[in-house]
Chains A and B, each alone.
Chain A
Amino acid sequence: MAKHKVTMTINGESVTAEVDSRLLLVHFIRENLDMTGTHIGCDTSSCGACTILIDGKSVKSCTYLTVRADGANITTIEGIAADGTNHPLQKAFHDQHGLHCGFCTPGMIMRSIDMLNTNPNPTEKEIRWGISGNLCRCTGYNNIVKSVQQAAEEMAKEKEATV
């Protein structure tokens, strides 16, 4: 199996590794880097549990080759807030009971970050379509929608405060 040298930034830290050409990014993150917050639910890009940010855009890492991420800037759930703090979406999912088993939650949050970056003030319908690539089997989505709404408001306030 051919090996390839890749270098990428993950959660602000530069990582260099020799990887098989077929190694999927989700396995690189989970197995090689021991960051297990990014989950695998389907292997077919259907459930979104493996969603991460690559150069700021949400990507399903279960169908993305590690070699393709050479030079990329990657963020996973472990990297969205400093230790002991919460991203507004993490706080909102807690406040609004937007998680039950927690398995889809990291992917749901990573997708929502990208969605709110693109559309900071989404309607309920836009939120529902915006997270429609991520499956949750526990919550029935009502409270995920409310979580994203709360985070959108808080992020807007934060933005206002910094302007």
Chain B
Amino acid sequence: MFSCKTSPEVGGMGHSVKRKEDARFLHGKGNYTDDVKLPGMLSMVIVRSPYAYAKIKSINKEKALAIDGVLAVITGEDLAQYNLHWMPTLLSDSQMVLPTDTVMHQSQEVCAVIATDRYIAVDGAEAVEVDYEPMAALVDPFKALDEGAPLLRPDKEGQKDNQIYHWERGEREKTDAAIAAADVVVKERIHLPRIHVASIETCGVVASYDKDTEKMLIYLTSQAPHAIRTILALVAGHVGLSEEKIRIIAPDIGGGFGGKVPVYPGYVIAIAASFLIGKPVKWIEDRSENLVNGFARDYHMDCELAATKEGKIQAFKVSTLADHGYTDSSANPSKYPTGMFSICTGSYDYEHAFAELDAVYTNKAPGGVAYRCSFRVTEAVHAIERMVDKLAAEIGKDPAQLRFENFIKKEDFPYASPLGWSYDSGDYKQTLEKAMDMIGYDDYKKEQAEKRAQGKLMGIGICTFTEVVGAGPSKDFDILGIAMFDSAEIRVHPTGKALARFGTKSQGQGHETTYAQILAEELGIPYTDIEIDEGDTDTAPYGLGTYASRSTPTAGAAAAMAARKLKDKGKKIAAYLLEVSEDDIEWEVGKYFVKGAPEKSKTIQDVAFAAYTNIPPGMEPGFEATHYYDPPNLTFPNGAYICVVEVDEETGAIDVKRFVAIDDCGNIINPMIVEGQVHGGLTQGIAPAMYEGIVYDDEGNVLNGTLMDYLVPTAVESPHWETGHTITPSPHHPLGAKGVAESPTVGAPPAIANAIIDALYPLGIKHLDIPITPDKVWDAIQVAKAKA
């Protein structure tokens, strides 16, 4: 286990110090985007399409403009004059900012009303008259490639059908041959539902253009302010918004989860409105606008897993249909249109795998955001973990035992996966054993046998997942060409206190505490003496932002590396102060001392003071360092989750009795924060497993676009989570850390699904897609009984 090198007062790695950022939130003094109020600020409200697919015949602004306080109604035609009516998505597809002729999904932006306050803007939006000619919407992705399907994107040159791209990885023929020759092959079509991040703060922007200085100040709910600034400059440079004139401030963010990575049309309209009017413009989404626009998942995966009759896995094949809506607005690295889906071979050692995917357009909201998941890892893990359980059931082997027999062994790391990843480290056996011990697996197995004998439905579900997080390395990973490194800049002041700035942006993860702890670990400066600053593109060093569990793997590493540069400089200063050769200086946390004479020492604070007051001859003054960290590999956090459920045969109700999550995220910076992240991620895992899913009717209407019918779990639906850890440090990360916050969101859904299916197995039910709701269970039970 990890042992702390620093005292609790210094608060380096491994200490559960309380968060430094809490006070402002607890006192109602947080500063979220909607809290920003600028003099003369105007309010923007968007008129949205009631139809999923329609021609816009006309937009009549007159009645809206007649309302006292309505200043402008901005349409696609207005933006087209500046060539701002389309924008690129982060994956180089194209998205309308505002339409000039056609709307492609329900709730798409049609025009925007700018008024002196929000109430008047809403009045204006209601007064805008839009004449639509509705068309038959393409809703079912399986019909997108049918002959005669409407061509949804004729605007794209060379686009002959509704296929966005085909992607594949691995060896198709060898995998097919292995499957054909195998003793046992299990097959299933698995759907991961379209869901929404539903952060409690919606998305929003305050854009403020100053016509005199030509500076555009933008407060934005953004997880990646630097990247967004660059993209804005690329998109709007031709109208005069060049990058040095754009300042994006991501203030406090009320939850991000990947939903605040993309650029939404509303941002661009508000920015354009401020640019044209010369006054600050605020736009804040309401909840339905938030839930109905943008989404995650929506993969239909045809899986085949082949094994010997004893259960040795031999090959895995998965063919996926991805529904992206009318444009691919995934926020994935550009060379990875399906993200890290090829992690789908899982935690198991076998030779043959093949994954392919077809992405299609439909008349739904665009998306494919990486919702608390390092780009499609959730989909990949669900596929393999459901299939491994299906195999176990098929051959009648305990699913834990099957996993033990197939795990990649501790001594096999670094492990080259069949689809091309190099797993850095792990001890899967130990992690699963720990989870089984903690939950009392054998006892539950006995209890289950007894309950089954009484006709009761009880299930035990396991998931042993491997994640892949922390993009770069920059040679492989970029967003629209911008390399995925991240950065840290440390300034130690003469009095030994410090300011550190980062290219990432916390949305609740606690960076103001954990980054300070990393620096405390490296420099011995107490974490309470270190201020952390992020999110302001005018002050923070360039970085790609916080998503895909990349903050600790990239910016956290950058912090350590920058601190080590400082430590090297400090050693020279200490040698000068102590009048010995640099070779005679040794370091222990917080101080330099003379080898063999520990009483002769200088603290890091002494050295910082000297860097400004008593500089060694010839040395550059100051005590500052910057590091841009380009990781040599990704990190591979993993875990073993076990869930126990009971199902009521009469009602279909599911009761989650226990849930144990053992995570291995390498070395831990702050155990309290890691545990909190795991709790939150688990609740975001039970959400799609049992409650959430955006539902469309045949005409493309969203049927559950409010929090009254899109069921975000409350404290009642959330079980009492039980957590624990194994620690296998990452061999290539300077701190041995891996990143953790997404593991639970990835690992929980298959554990829960496996438990529910296990409970229903005696009735002959072998698979259900998530969300597994009581009515779905009840229906399945009725069908199963009718068959029997």
Most B-side CB within 10 Å, residue of A81, A104, A141: A141
Pair B508/A138 contact, Cβ less than 8 Å: yes
- B679: contacting residue among A31, A103, A142, CB under 8 A: A142
Residues of B contacting A46 in the complex (Cβ-Cβ under 8 angstroms):
287, 706-708
Residues of A contacting B682 in the complex (Cβ-Cβ under 8 angstroms):
140
Find the B residue at minimum CB distance from A102: B25
Pair A100/B508 contact, Cβ less than 8 Å: yes
Find the B residue at minimum CB distance from A106: B28
Pair B26/A103 contact, Cβ less than 8 Å: no
- The contact string, 1 if C-beta is below 8 Å from chain B, for chain A 100-139, is 1111111001000000000000001001110111111111
Residues of A contacting B37 in the complex (Cβ-Cβ under 8 angstroms):
31, 34
Stretch from B481-489, B713-721, B768-776 contacting the other chain: B713-721
Q: Is the interface of A mostly helix, strand, loop or mixed?
A: loop
Cα of A50 to Cα of B22 in the assembled complex, Å: 19
Find the B residue at minimum CB distance from A49: B200
- A103: contacting residue among B19, B32, B257, CB under 8 A: B32
| B202: interface (CB < 8 Å) | yes
Pair A90/B718 contact, Cβ less than 8 Å: no
- A41: contacting residue among B29, B287, B677, B683, CB under 8 A: B287
Cα of A142 to Cα of B672 in the assembled complex, Å: 12
Cα of A20 to Cα of B255 in the assembled complex, Å: 32
| A155: interface (CB < 8 Å) | no
Most B-side CB within 10 Å, residue of A36, A42, A132, A140: A140
Pair B200/A104 contact, Cβ less than 8 Å: yes
- A137: contacting residue among B257, B509, B676, CB under 8 A: B257
- A127: contacting residue among B26, B678, B715, CB under 8 A: B715
Identify which of residues 3-34 in chain B touch chain A, using a CB-to-CB cut-off of 8 Å: 18-19, 21-32, 34
Cα of A70 to Cα of B35 in the assembled complex, Å: 25
| B50: interface (CB < 8 Å) | no
Cα of A90 to Cα of B23 in the assembled complex, Å: 8
Pair B119/A20 contact, Cβ less than 8 Å: yes
CB distance from B223 to the nearest CB of A (A): 12
| A18: interface (CB < 8 Å) | no
| A43: interface (CB < 8 Å) | yes
- A37: contacting residue among B19, B22, B27, B707, CB under 8 A: B27
Residues of A contacting B716 in the complex (Cβ-Cβ under 8 angstroms):
128-129, 132
Known A-B contacts A47-B707, A100-B680, A105-B25; A145 and B715 likewise in contact (beta carbons under 8 Å): yes
- B255: contacting residue among A40, A44, A76, A101, CB under 8 A: A101
Residues of B contacting A144 in the complex (Cβ-Cβ under 8 angstroms):
715
Cα of A37 to Cα of B254 in the assembled complex, Å: 12
Find the A residue at minimum CB distance from B23: A94
Residues of A contacting B200 in the complex (Cβ-Cβ under 8 angstroms):
39, 41, 47, 49, 101, 103-104, 135-137
Pair B32/A97 contact, Cβ less than 8 Å: no
CB distance from B324 to the nearest CB of A (A): 24
Pair A102/B676 contact, Cβ less than 8 Å: no
- The contact string, 1 if C-beta is below 8 Å from chain A, for chain B 667-702, is 000001101111111111000000000000000000
Count chain A residues whose beta carbon lies closer than 8 angstroms to a beta carbon of B: 58
Residues of A contacting B256 in the complex (Cβ-Cβ under 8 angstroms):
101
- A101: contacting residue among B18, B508, B714, CB under 8 A: B508
Cα of A138 to Cα of B25 in the assembled complex, Å: 14
| A67: interface (CB < 8 Å) | no
Pair A102/B508 contact, Cβ less than 8 Å: yes
- The contact string, 1 if C-beta is below 8 Å from chain A, for chain B 316-338, is 00000000000000000000000
Find the A residue at minimum CB distance from B510: A100
Residues of B contacting A142 in the complex (Cβ-Cβ under 8 angstroms):
679, 718, 720-721
Residues of B contacting A86 in the complex (Cβ-Cβ under 8 angstroms):
26
Residues of B contacting A31 in the complex (Cβ-Cβ under 8 angstroms):
37, 117
Count chain B residues whose beta carbon lies closer than 8 angstroms to a beta carbon of A: 61
| B664: interface (CB < 8 Å) | no
Residues of A contacting B721 in the complex (Cβ-Cβ under 8 angstroms):
140, 142
Residues of B contacting A55 in the complex (Cβ-Cβ under 8 angstroms):
none
Residues of B contacting A95 in the complex (Cβ-Cβ under 8 angstroms):
18
Cα of A36 to Cα of B252 in the assembled complex, Å: 13
Most B-side CB within 10 Å, residue of A36, A42, A144: A42
| B242: interface (CB < 8 Å) | no
Known A-B contacts A94-B26, A103-B32; A137 and B255 likewise in contact (beta carbons under 8 Å): yes
Pair B508/A44 contact, Cβ less than 8 Å: no
Pair A78/B28 contact, Cβ less than 8 Å: yes
Cα of A104 to Cα of B510 in the assembled complex, Å: 16
Cα of A136 to Cα of B31 in the assembled complex, Å: 18
Residues of B contacting A34 in the complex (Cβ-Cβ under 8 angstroms):
37
| B662: interface (CB < 8 Å) | no
CB distance from B336 to the nearest CB of A (A): 27
- The contact string, 1 if C-beta is below 8 Å from chain A, for chain B 25-68, is 11111111011010000000000000000000000000000000
Residues of A contacting B270 in the complex (Cβ-Cβ under 8 angstroms):
none
- B198: contacting residue among A39, A77, A78, A137, CB under 8 A: A137
Cα of A21 to Cα of B287 in the assembled complex, Å: 23
Find the A residue at minimum CB distance from B722: A142
| A99: interface (CB < 8 Å) | yes
Pair B684/A137 contact, Cβ less than 8 Å: yes
CB distance from B107 to the nearest CB of A (A): 15
| A68: interface (CB < 8 Å) | no
CB distance from B475 to the nearest CB of A (A): 33
| B152: interface (CB < 8 Å) | no
Cα of A1 to Cα of B139 in the assembled complex, Å: 43
Known A-B contacts A97-B676, A137-B257; A39 and B32 likewise in contact (beta carbons under 8 Å): yes
Which A residues contact B (CB, under 8 angstroms)? 20, 22-23, 27, 30-31, 34-44, 46-47, 49, 76-78, 81, 86, 90, 93-95, 97, 99-106, 109, 124, 127-129, 131-145
Q: Which 7 A-B pairs have the closest CB atoms?
A: A37-B28, A102-B25, A103-B254, A101-B508, A140-B679, A100-B508, A46-B707
User: Told that A106-B28, A133-B714, A137-B200 touch, could you supply 15 new A-B pairs with CB distance under 8 A?
Assistant: A22-B119, A30-B35, A36-B28, A46-B706, A99-B25, A100-B255, A102-B22, A106-B25, A136-B200, A137-B197, A137-B712, A138-B508, A139-B680, A142-B679, A143-B676
- Can you name 28 A-B residue pairings with CB atoms under 8 Å? A31-B117, A39-B32, A43-B287, A47-B200, A47-B712, A78-B27, A94-B18, A94-B19, A94-B26, A99-B22, A101-B252, A101-B253, A101-B254, A102-B26, A102-B254, A103-B32, A103-B254, A103-B255, A105-B26, A106-B25, A129-B716, A132-B716, A137-B199, A137-B200, A137-B257, A138-B680, A139-B680, A142-B721
Which B residues contact A (CB, under 8 angstroms)? 18-19, 21-32, 34-35, 37, 117-119, 197-202, 252-257, 284, 286-287, 507-510, 672-673, 675-684, 706-708, 712, 714-716, 718, 720-721
